[in-house]
């Protein structure tokens, strides 16, 4: 370790961060647990967790260093390579649940998870309030050196529990490209409005969801159809509903409903969502989550649309000709 860290003390790990509670960390990471494996990068500003599903859906949770009571990253020399690896996020979430597992907050979280399976509209505006976070003890994240496990050390009333999470060589997946310089629309609204919309569409058992934004009415429309029928939700352009509304030209794409629904946990805990679409048809949902004490965290989701109807018809014709 001395040769990697240079002037850093040989016994000092590459990364060490301590949190007084794991509740907000658990809640943020749970939002991107739609795939078991995540890519982790540790930076001087925080920990970045990225989940990818078949290159058509991506979720990113950034744990800002302000979420920790202490945060130390030691990399060799100036401009040293930042540590990154892949790991199983389900195992990490289970380890974090050990901390305060008998607390009322943990039992409430389990009940909410069960309700989530049957009801989308289950947001909790007080997910990060002080009572929910009131668990004694500390939680330490430690990464000794490249290739080491990520250790989670839980210290609760003098009892220490250490969980060593196996890390894997990163595959360095590229982010789904989203062109911020070619935005077709940008809408900011309360995250719960989006969650309510999905709950209206879900009973139709839809496979797809069509999202359209236009400079005139209907300004924002979400629609879907399934074996039980079809439904749509339209948003009017009013400050009480759409805080920010900017549409350059009409934009419309279809996405897999289950992918959009995978972001419902983020919709549940977030205060606001920035709803954006670029010229390539990629949809970006950026959620702002306010944590106790004024700290703000962000969750980012990107979705690749289905091919256009014309492409589908062409493929169908080719299959018939074949």
Residues 146 and 252 in one domain: no
Residues 70 and 214 in one domain: no
Q: How many domains does the chain have?
A: 2
- The low-confidence residues of the chain, meaning pLDDT below 70, are 1-10, 77-78, 99-136, 172-173, 239, 308-322
Residues 31 and 67 in one domain: yes
Domain-embedded: residue 153: yes
| Whole-angstrom distance, CA of residue 99 vs CA of residue 120 | 27
Domain-embedded: residue 283: yes
- Nearest alpha-carbon partner for 217 in 188, 238, 198, 191: 238
- Predicted TM-score (pTM) of the model is 0.83
Residues 253 and 301 in one domain: yes
Domain-embedded: residue 219: yes
Residues 145 and 14 in one domain: yes
Say which DSSP state 120 is in. Answer: S
Residues 207 and 233 in one domain: yes
Residues 148 and 43 in one domain: yes
Domain-embedded: residue 175: no
| Burial degree of 196 (CB within 10 A; 0-12, 13-18, 19+) | middle
Residues 228 and 205 in one domain: yes
| Whole-angstrom distance, CA of residue 137 vs CA of residue 120 | 33
Domain-embedded: residue 273: yes
pLDDT (tens digit per residue) in 252-269: 999 999 999 999 999 999
- Starting at the edge strand found earlier in the chain, the sheet holding 37-42 runs 84-88, 37-42, 46-53, 57-64, 296-303, 283-290, 272-278, 183-190, 242-247
CATH number, position 295: 3.70.10.10
Domain-embedded: residue 322: no
pLDDT for position 309: 44
CATH number, position 11: 3.10.150.10
CB 220 within 8 A of CB 173: no
pLDDT for position 227: 82
pLDDT for position 152: 95
Which residues constitute the domain of residue 53? 2-100+135-165
Domain-embedded: residue 109: no
Residues 143 and 22 in one domain: yes
Residues 300 and 213 in one domain: yes
Residues 208 and 239 in one domain: yes
Residues 94 and 220 in one domain: no
CA–chain centroid gap for 89, Å, is 12
Domain-embedded: residue 128: no
pLDDT for position 1: 28
pLDDT (tens digit per residue) in 191-221: 999 999 999 999 999 999 999 999 998 899 9
């Amino acid at each position: 370790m001395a040769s990697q860290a240079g002037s850093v003390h040989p016994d000092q790990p590459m990364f060490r961060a301590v949190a007084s509670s794991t509740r907000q960390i658990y809640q943020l990471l749970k939002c991107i647990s739609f795939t078991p494996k995540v890519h982790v990068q540790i930076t001087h500003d925080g920990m970045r967790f990225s989940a990818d599903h078949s290159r058509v859906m991506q979720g990113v949770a950034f744990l800002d260093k302000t979420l920790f009571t202490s945060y130390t990253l030691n990399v060799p020399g100036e401009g040293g390579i930042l540590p990154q690896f892949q790991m199983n996020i389900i195992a990490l979430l289970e380890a974090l649940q050990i901390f305060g597992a008998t607390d009322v907050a943990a039992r409430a979280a389990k009940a909410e998870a069960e309700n989530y399976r049957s009801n989308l509209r289950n947001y909790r505006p007080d997910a990060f309030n002080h009572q929910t976070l009131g668990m004694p003890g500390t939680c330490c994240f430690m990464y000794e050196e490249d290739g080491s496990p990520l250790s989670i050390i839980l210290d609760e009333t003098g009892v220490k529990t250490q969980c060593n999470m196996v890390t894997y060589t990163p595959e360095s997946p590229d982010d789904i490209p989203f062109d911020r310089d070619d935005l077709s629309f940008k809408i900011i609204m309360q995250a719960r409005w989006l969650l309510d919309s999905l709950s209206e569409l879900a009973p139709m058992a839809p496979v797809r969801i069509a999202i359209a934004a236009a400079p005139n009415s209907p300004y924002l429309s979400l629609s879907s159809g399934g074996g039980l029928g079809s439904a749509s939700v339209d948003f009017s352009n009013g400050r009480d509903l759409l805080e920010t509304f900017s549409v350059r030209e009409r934009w419309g794409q279809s996405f897999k409903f289950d992918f959009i629904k995978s972001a419902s946990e983020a919709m549940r805990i977030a205060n606001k969502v920035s709803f954006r679409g670029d010229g390539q048809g990629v949809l970006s949902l950026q959620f702002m989550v306010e944590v106790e004490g004024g700290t703000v965290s962000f969750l980012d989701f990107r979705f690749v649309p289905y091919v256009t109807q014309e492409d589908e018809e062409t493929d169908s014709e080719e299959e018939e000709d074949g």
